[in-house]
Amino acid sequence: MKEIVLVTLAVDAETGAIDPTAPFVVSAPPPHRRSVYENEPEAIAQFLRGECQARFEAEWTDDGWKFGKRVVDA
């Protein structure tokens, strides 16, 4: 079943620059916990320049979250 999750990219604390190559955090509704992911270029490519958070359709599998399309923020 697809759910909406919040993906938050890493931000350098000293410079404030977004690092799209660093691991990122996925926040999902209960019963899921926050989790850290990396190497998801299809999801990262959907971020607009300068954004550090976006919502995505995602499905929980035995291997973790499988990310789909970005959800347009209202």
Q: Which two tokens stand for residue 43?
A: 């999801």
| DSSP-assigned beta bridge partners for residue 60 | 65
pLDDT of 74 above 80: no
Instruction: Quote the number of domains for the chain.
Output: 1
Work out the pLDDT band at 1, boundaries 50, 70, 90: confident
6-33 pLDDT tens trace: 999 999 889 989 998 899 999 999 999 8
Note down the domain range covering 42. Answer: 2-71
Q: Which two tokens stand for residue 45?
A: 């490519």
- Is the pTM for the entire model greater than 0.85? yes
Residue 45 CA neighbour count, 13 Å, CB half? 7
Average pLDDT of every residue of the chain: 92
Query: What's the rounded Cα separation, in Å, for the pair 35 and 5?
Result: 11
